[in-house]
Structure 1
Amino acid sequence: MNAAAAQAGPFLEKNEKAIGDTARFVADSARTLREDLGTLEEEAPAAAKDARAASGTLDGVHRARCEDPVPPDPACPDLEKARDAAAGAAAVAEDVDALVTAHREDLKQLDGHLVTLEEQARTLAARAPRLSEDLDDAVTKINKLDAGAAKVAAGAKRLTKGLGTAETGATDLDKGVGELETGAGDLNGGLLKLVDGSGELAGGLHEGAGKIPDYDERDRERRTGVMADPVRLVSHDLHKAPDYGTGFAPYFIPLSLWVGAMVAYMLIAPMNRRALAAGASAWRIALAGWLPVVAIGVAQTLALMSVLHWALGLQMARAAGTVGFLFLVTACFAALVQWLNARFGAAGRILVLALLMLQLTSAGGTYPVQTSPGFFNALHPFLPMSHVVDALRRLISGGGLGPVWQACAVLALFTAGALALTALSARRRQVWTMDRLHPELTL
């Protein structure tokens, strides 16, 4: 009942005026219809009589002016049409009169139904401003009824206890009759217990009888429905993506940026050889190899997002924030790919591809990462693409910005760490060791 009231209450409160206006309109319409039915019943015989008289008059005029031996009159065609029309009108009026006469009882029943409809509609119109209050009162009474049922249950429990006490007293009474001389005191005590138990029984029965609810058939059906289905599951989506493309965009956008950085460092050296040979600063060498790829990545990001938005119709909740965040993603991916290539050389390209595979399987871009094996669950929080996917979902589909700021911090740390490691690799390449001067194997 409380669940039903929670659904119906706001509707009644919002539409009380409309319900009252509609009820008054129904009542006024019922009264007007009753008046029209009374007018029809009263005037139908007179209308039929007048129509018959008019038809006879026109017929006589037509015979007098248009039939032989009287010479034909030029108005005869019009008189003939008027005579036929009057005859038709008289026939219709007679049919209406016959219909009203034949169904007089039905019209009386209809009038009674209209009276009832008008009364009920006016009653509803009068109570319309208080419908939500009446519903609250009904719910309050139902809750009191429920509390009364609990008290009835408690009274039944006390009744059971009283019956047990009465049984004990009866046993003592039987034993006292057998031993009259020594059991008189026991008999007296048993009678007292029996009186107490009977009093409790009478009080419990009286109290319980006054609190037993008297449900009609409709109330019993409602309570049966509530007991059969007491809980209703309601689900709704938060920031739902309009289509699969929007849902998968946070997964494939960083994938394309990583591949772009990987291809860029296949064409651009991660560390400038002239700068290494000239003994330039390690940080300068790292930045000189990183900034061109970042510029290419920015251009790639702008082209990618332009195609996704204007050609494919990708809608973003925060378009400017998405593009700005992807610039940071491009910088981070470029720094990571640069370091792997600078530190491990040709083998670094294999490591770049392997790291991409690990990120794709642990980022949770297609299915929740909790459904993946434990190994990828363990890797999930430590790889940059996991944070990129979570942040892009908030930026594209909407939601809180907490994961976005967290992802920015993580990407900034990855970028700074990768640049530092690239600078360290550049410093090592500037130091000549005996192994580099005289390698163990020469080709």
Structure 2
Amino acid sequence: MNAVDAEVGPFLEDNEKAIGDTARFVADSADGLRDDLDALDERAPAAAKDARTASDTLDGVHRARCEDAVVPDAACADLEKARDAAADAATVTEDVGSLVAGHRDDLEKLDGHLATLEKQARALAARAPHLSEDLDDAVTRINRLDAGAGKVAAGARKLNRGLGTAETGALDLDRGVDRLRTGADDLNGGIFKLVDGSGELAGGLHEGAGRIPDYDERERDRRTEVMADPVRLVTHDLHKAPNYGTGFAPYFIPLSLWVGAMVAYMLIAPMNRRALALGASALRIALAGWLPVVAIGVLQTVALMSVLHWAIGLQMARAAGTVGFLFLVTACFAAIVQWLNARFGAAGRILVLALLMLQLTSAGGTYPVQTSPGFFNALHPFLPMSHVVEALRRLITGGGLGPVWQACAVLTAFTAGALALTALSARRRQVWTLDRLHPELSL
């Protein structure tokens, strides 16, 4: 159909008007032929009669003037021709009349065919302007029909396979029904056994009900509680922090003080150069570089605890003891940071930051240190922040002061040791050597 559309479509589109005109001409011609057939059927007998009358009249005139007359008429020759022509015409009209009469059924069929032809021709003339559109629409529908037929064919194949599967399933169902019948027979026998067992159970329950002890309500409640909760976990908080902020404060307060000391020694020299140049005592040089940072740390501590208490709402079990202990923490951290900067110079700042990281991970400020890796468990007792966190927990939330006094001793030892090492570094800086006078590498 698509191939036919490709060939016929352009022809119809180009000749729609001619096809319409031709169809109308055919319809008009068919209508005229029907009228002529009707006239022929009506007039043929009369024409045959008139032709025969005219022939007989001419024959009488010819006989009177030419055959019976004494003197023949000069027009006899013409009259004879006219007589013969009239006789032939009468014969033809009679034959036509006989033919019309003998084929009246065929003429009626011909009239019906002409009527059909006229109707179809007029319908064609009416549709002629839209023939190409009708052809395109027909081709489109046929293409849809073809697509649908393809889907029907695919569905038929699936149906065929499904019928095979259904046949297999029907066989399985038949076997299952047989098994069900067998199981039903077994169930029937089991029901009888169940009836017998139910009777025995009812008798046993009745007998057992008579043996149940009759406890009072209090005894029943006690035994029910024992059965429902045989093991009870009892917990008791010795010194519970009211909120998470209070619980994390012992961890973040020393962190801020360490960072304060670290920043302070970025701005203040750990050892006074003028004192080094004048040859002052090493201990005096160490104290001169340490005391200003301690003073700054004390101010930082006061500001920090004021904000935590009055602005954020931190409640401390021993407020004065906490502040005093933090002054010692500030002094210790300042001494350690001073020594690292005095001994190692610019590299000491990196060491200060690294030591801070080690203390944060081993202090146990967020989770119990026992849950940390073994390396940090080993470092835990040897770093000052571990003792600071434990002591602040007792000072803020309450508890025995044993860890606090232990932390004070450890911090005092770290402070004294760091100041001694700083003094030793100052003493070394006061000794001039060839390497210091002429360094191998200058930046």
Q: What is the TM-score of this pair, normalised by structure 1?
A: 0.51
Residue by residue, what CA displacement relative to the aligned partner does 1:330-379 show, whole Å, maximum 9, x if unpaired? 00000000000000000000000000010011111111111111111111
The one of 204, 217, 220 aligned to 2:215: 217
Match in the other structure for 1:131: none
Rounded Cα–Cα distance in structure 2 between residues aligned with 1:221 and 1:337: 66
Match in the other structure for 2:329: 329
Match in the other structure for 1:251: 251
Match in the other structure for 2:432: 432
Q: Does 1:347 align with 2:347?
A: yes
Amino acid at match of 2:347: A
Q: Does 1:274 align with 2:274?
A: yes
Residue 229 of structure 1 and its aligned partner are, at CA, apart by 3.5
Match in the other structure for 1:184: none
Residue 227 of structure 1 and its aligned partner are, at CA, apart by 5.3
Amino acid at match of 1:366: T
- Greater shift after overlay, 218-227 or 385-394? 218-227
Give the root-mean-square deviation of aligned CA atoms: 1.7
Match in the other structure for 1:159: none
Match in the other structure for 1:387: 387
Match in the other structure for 1:309: 309
Q: Does 1:338 align with 2:338?
A: yes
SS in 2 for 1:216: coil
Rounded Cα–Cα distance in structure 2 between residues aligned with 1:256 and 1:389: 13
Residue by residue, what CA displacement relative to the aligned partner does 1:76-109 show, whole Å, maximum 9, x if unpaired? xxxxxxxxxxxxxxxxxxxxxxxxxxxxxxxxxx
Q: Structure 1 pair 437/413, CA: closer, same or farther in 2 (3 Å)?
A: same
Rounded Cα–Cα distance in structure 2 between residues aligned with 1:284 and 1:221: 79
Q: Structure 1 pair 221/266, CA: closer, same or farther in 2 (3 Å)?
A: closer
Residue 435 of structure 1 and its aligned partner are, at CA, apart by 1.4
Residue 236 of structure 1 and its aligned partner are, at CA, apart by 2.2
Rounded Cα–Cα distance in structure 2 between residues aligned with 1:247 and 1:229: 33
Rounded Cα–Cα distance in structure 2 between residues aligned with 1:275 and 1:242: 51
SS in 1 for 2:316: coil
Gaps of 5+ in 2: 1-210
SS in 1 for 2:377: helix
Residue by residue, what CA displacement relative to the aligned partner does 1:163-200 show, whole Å, maximum 9, x if unpaired? xxxxxxxxxxxxxxxxxxxxxxxxxxxxxxxxxxxxxx
Amino acid at match of 2:328: L
Rounded Cα–Cα distance in structure 2 between residues aligned with 1:297 and 1:220: 67
- Based on CA coordinates, which of the two structures has the bigger radius of gyration? 2
Residue 226 of structure 1 and its aligned partner are, at CA, apart by 2.5
Amino acid at match of 1:310: W
Rounded Cα–Cα distance in structure 2 between residues aligned with 1:327 and 1:224: 59
Match in the other structure for 2:397: 397
SS in 2 for 1:217: coil
Residue 216 of structure 1 and its aligned partner are, at CA, apart by 2.5
Amino acid at match of 2:369: V
Rounded Cα–Cα distance in structure 1 between residues aligned with 2:301 and 2:221: 63
Match in the other structure for 1:283: 283
Q: Does 1:300 align with 2:300?
A: yes
Rounded Cα–Cα distance in structure 1 between residues aligned with 2:213 and 2:406: 60
Match in the other structure for 2:421: 421
Residue 222 of structure 1 and its aligned partner are, at CA, apart by 3.8
Gaps of 5+ in 1: 1-212
Rounded Cα–Cα distance in structure 1 between residues aligned with 2:356 and 2:298: 20
Residue 238 of structure 1 and its aligned partner are, at CA, apart by 1.6
Q: What is the TM-score of this pair, normalised by structure 2?
A: 0.51
Alignment of 1:75-86 (within 5 A): none
Match in the other structure for 1:234: 234
- Report the identity percentage: 90
Residue 442 of structure 1 and its aligned partner are, at CA, apart by 2.6
Rounded Cα–Cα distance in structure 1 between residues aligned with 2:252 and 2:226: 48
Residue 405 of structure 1 and its aligned partner are, at CA, apart by 0.4
Q: Does 1:319 align with 2:352?
A: no
SS in 2 for 1:348: helix
Residue 221 of structure 1 and its aligned partner are, at CA, apart by 6.7
Amino acid at match of 2:423: A
Residue 404 of structure 1 and its aligned partner are, at CA, apart by 0.4
Rounded Cα–Cα distance in structure 1 between residues aligned with 2:271 and 2:262: 15
Rounded Cα–Cα distance in structure 1 between residues aligned with 2:298 and 2:225: 62
Amino acid at match of 1:352: V
Match in the other structure for 2:68: none
4+ aligned runs moved over 6 Å, structure 1: none
Rounded Cα–Cα distance in structure 2 between residues aligned with 1:240 and 1:276: 52
Residue 253 of structure 1 and its aligned partner are, at CA, apart by 0.5
Amino acid at match of 1:265: Y
SS in 1 for 2:406: helix
Rounded Cα–Cα distance in structure 2 between residues aligned with 1:429 and 1:351: 20
Aligned residues: 231
Amino acid at match of 1:322: T
Rounded Cα–Cα distance in structure 2 between residues aligned with 1:311 and 1:381: 34
Residue 225 of structure 1 and its aligned partner are, at CA, apart by 4.4
SS in 1 for 2:303: helix
Rounded Cα–Cα distance in structure 2 between residues aligned with 1:329 and 1:257: 8
Rounded Cα–Cα distance in structure 2 between residues aligned with 1:277 and 1:247: 49
Rounded Cα–Cα distance in structure 2 between residues aligned with 1:403 and 1:433: 47
Rounded Cα–Cα distance in structure 1 between residues aligned with 2:289 and 2:361: 29
